[in-house]
Chain A
Amino acid sequence: MNSSRKRHVRLVVSLTLAVALASGLVYTSFSAADPALTPTQLLARAQPGVTYQLTGTVVAGSVRHRADGVLDFSLSDRAGGGRSVPVSYTGAVPDPFRVGRELIVTVNKSGNSFVAQPNSMITKCPSKYVAAPNPKST
């Protein structure tokens, strides 16, 4: 095989390999991914036994730290309105956790409420585009 042919063969082999690996990657990503849903979406289509990533805003008045270390709270859609999803959470609570803050938590459906996987809560830096509360002088 002359060198030009060798080069072509190498190029074809490596490209084929690359495409094959990339396809494998792409394929597994779809099955390895958890669907990310808002509370409204979750209530509409959640099934038991499936893991979901729930993103929502903490509803005022819904936060209860239970004596056994479990944190109960409800999440509603970022846009507001809609129904809220009750979540029972165990584990580390990130510092920014607060009523009105947005967070992501991995949950499974259990009866009518949702149980979070331990230590799966992620909070986001508070959005700078939420209207700042009218600051009184301190």
Chain B
Amino acid sequence: MAVVGRAALVLALLTTLFGIGASLYGARRGRREWVEVGRRSVYALVAILTVGIAILEVAFISNDFAYNTVANNSSLTTPLVYRAAAMWGSQEGSLLLWVWLLSIWSSLAVFLTRNRLKEVVPYAVAVLLGFGTFFTSLLVFFATPFGQTSPAPQNGVGLDPLLRNPAMIIHPPMLYSGYTFFAIPFAFAVGALITRRVDAEWIQVARRFALASWLFLGVGVLLGARWAYYEIGWGGYWGWDPVENAALMPWLISTAFLHSIMIQEKRGMLKIWNASLVLGASTLAIFGTFLVRSGVLQSIHAFGASTLGVPFVLLIATMVAGSIYLVVSRRDVLRSEHQLDSLFSREAAFMLNNIVLVGLCFVIFWGTVFPLISQAFTGTTASVGPPWFDRYTVPLALVLVLLSGIGPVIPWRRATLANARRNFALPVAASVAMLIAAYTVVPISSSVPTVILFCAVAFVFASVGQEFWRGWRVRRAMSGDSPPLALISMVRRNQRRYGGYIVHLGIATLFLGVAASATFQHTHYVNLDRGQSDTVGGFTFTNEGPTAAIVDDPSGTGALLTLGAVVRVSRDGRRVTTLRPTAEYFADASGAEGPVGSLIGGDAVSELALDSTWRRDISAAINAVPLQASLQGEINYANKLVTPKLLAQQPTLPYILLAIVARNYLRHPPPAPLKLASSPLVMWLWLGALIVLFGGLIAIWPPPGAVRRRVRARYLARVAQDLGRA
């Protein structure tokens, strides 16, 4: 069946090449049927790649260790759901997932534009299939998922325990969907520039695809942040890791595009800028893929050094060169129709928003590739850490949040003093009120950036609230609807506007959580004996005693031994919660740690115990590696007890001895190495993310009128066709 998989990949490669030729031929010669052939190639690609991915998934689920990738990433003891997810835990498997998702989203785009942009679509299809060619070539020539070894090993290495987390099931597919979706605006921008059709129709299509990719990528990044928050060694929800940054950069540029495209729509300005943003965002998405897979930079996520670096560099260089050529050679179509009327206008605010976003992207880009730059210029690789990133991104983020409050209430073209008073009075009052609160009631005055952010958030909430209130009142006056109905119909009639406002609310909420939790968190690393306590951020953590479970696998990850502690948290003498952090230990297949030691000599994973409320997160985690080290004496003793003769008589002897070690841990526990933390307002971060998602969905949802119109148009077409035939 591996042969079928390999053949499927070759067939996919050939289909993409054929489709590119058919599309371009059909476009140049005006032959509709060849353009249709090109479109069908995209659909066929989905079918072919689904066959390939199905074969690989079946191999994983059925533990077919003849496949190298199954043997390297899964094992008999890896739970079923993680066996299925292990398919994308490797370079080659994740590439297959990537190109499969690329084909699916490309098909969706091709389907949605089957009756529109007829001049542009053939070129867009050719570009999409071009990406398909690139990635299937990687799979066919560089990193095949279907390599096999004979004779097949009896067991695999197992999925890295750090990845045995529900997030592994959704974060990569969501993130890859975001990344691959960026190919679509790129393809349509290239097609539009080639055919010089940069008009209202293109704007409509480009904006929707850009919004969809923005939404997917944003969700993917936030899922990653949430996963990182739960994994101890990853230091919280954001660490300015190169891979995290790589996904953020295209998202920032995409955000800029979603704003400045409105200016192009209304006033025919910024056409060159917008084209560059679209092309740039997608190039950054591919660049991000390159960073993760090439091993060029040190990262927690690294797939390791690989041979894929060079092909990616070539692809990126082609995209950059092609984009520059297209924009320069088509600059006559991209000329601005109007100019900026005033620096105090929504246009100006959007431009400033764009500058800030591009600036943020530049800072992050520079910091991320700095090791490569310093290597090139000074011969030594040097890297900048989170403090450097924070220093430059925090002020920019503050400006951004403030702008997200100014944008909704500032008029187009020209703001006068009169309407400024009307529109800004409430938001300014809200931020002043917050300022006063910050120095009296809310304990944040020790950090000036946090105070500024809180005031900016108050500004945003007030301005968006004001917009909703006024719009709702207008709607009620104009339609006489009941209050709730008026609200719904108001949003339905202006989904982009109000969806966008909700996204702003979400962003402000998110930053509220980020500012509070980053500035005012307390973390202690302590060793606590049974009965000992430590106070962190006003909370008292007490180690009440050990826990142990063997072969019980309480979290469904396949761990053999789970050790933990019961930590009671109280404040001012009253019990707040009880936390049960655990450390899970996995077997080491190589046997290097001795018969008993190997049962837990593989990877260790510590499971965070978290108590979340709207006011704060309290957490406790066990430092798995030092805890295991404290058991080493007993393990060494147990190892010596297992002689080959005894083992032959009683094969389960190591397990029995391990159980005794666990029992001794319960009776005489060593001091528990704990990481204790309290962090305010973290839940607001996740709430903000959900609000952003909600607003994005509202903005992208098809508006009510469109469906009816399309249906009626189809009937008209049928009538015309019938008449034509008769």
Contacts and interface: CB of A to CB of B under 8 A. Distances in A.
Whether the complex brings A and B within 8 Å at their CB atoms is answered: yes
Interface of A: 3, 7, 10, 14, 18, 21-22, 25-26, 28-30, 32-37, 53, 55, 65, 69, 71, 91-98, 104, 118-119, 122-130, 132-138
B304 A135 contact: no
A38 B78 CA distance: 35
Residue from A37, A94, A123 having most chain B Cβ neighbours under 10 A: A94
Contact of A95 (B75, B378, B603): B603
A3 B342 CA distance: 11
Contacts of B363: 25
A71 B286 CA distance: 40
A128 B73 CA distance: 8
B374 A128 contact: no
Contact of A29 (B91, B366, B624): B366
A32 B380 contact: no
A3 B338 CA distance: 11
B651 to A, nearest CB: 11
A95 B233 contact: yes
B298 A104 contact: yes
A88 to B, nearest CB: 14
Given A7-B340, A92-B525, A119-B525, A137 B155 contact: yes
Contact of B587 (A104, A126, A138): A138
A25 B157 contact: no
A37 B374 CA distance: 12
B494 interface: no
A46 to B, nearest CB: 12
A86 B597 CA distance: 25
B701 interface: no
Nearest to B584: A95
Nearest to A123: B233
A124 B300 CA distance: 4
B385 A96 contact: no
A25 B624 CA distance: 39
B547 interface: no
B-side interface mostly: mixed
Given A53-B383, A128-B90, A132-B157, 16 more contacts: A10-B340, A34-B383, A65-B630, A92-B675, A93-B625, A95-B605, A96-B162, A98-B603, A124-B299, A125-B162, A128-B73, A128-B304, A129-B305, A134-B153, A135-B154, A138-B77
Contacts of B153: 134-135
Contacts of B115: none
23 contacts: A26-B366, A29-B367, A33-B388, A34-B385, A35-B381, A36-B380, A37-B380, A53-B382, A93-B623, A93-B625, A95-B603, A95-B605, A124-B298, A125-B160, A125-B303, A127-B304, A127-B305, A128-B72, A132-B72, A132-B157, A135-B156, A136-B589, A138-B589
A122 B154 CA distance: 33
Contacts of A133: 157, 589-590, 592
A35 B382 contact: yes
B591 interface: yes
B233 A96 contact: yes
Contacts of A129: 304-306
B625 A135 contact: no
Contacts of B411: none
Contacts of B392: 25
Contacts of B587: 138
A33 B384 CA distance: 4
Nearest to B380: A35
Interface in B65-115: 71-73, 75-77, 89-91
Contacts of A122: 233, 300
Nearest to A17: B355
A126 B160 contact: yes
Interface in B115-161: 153-157, 160-161
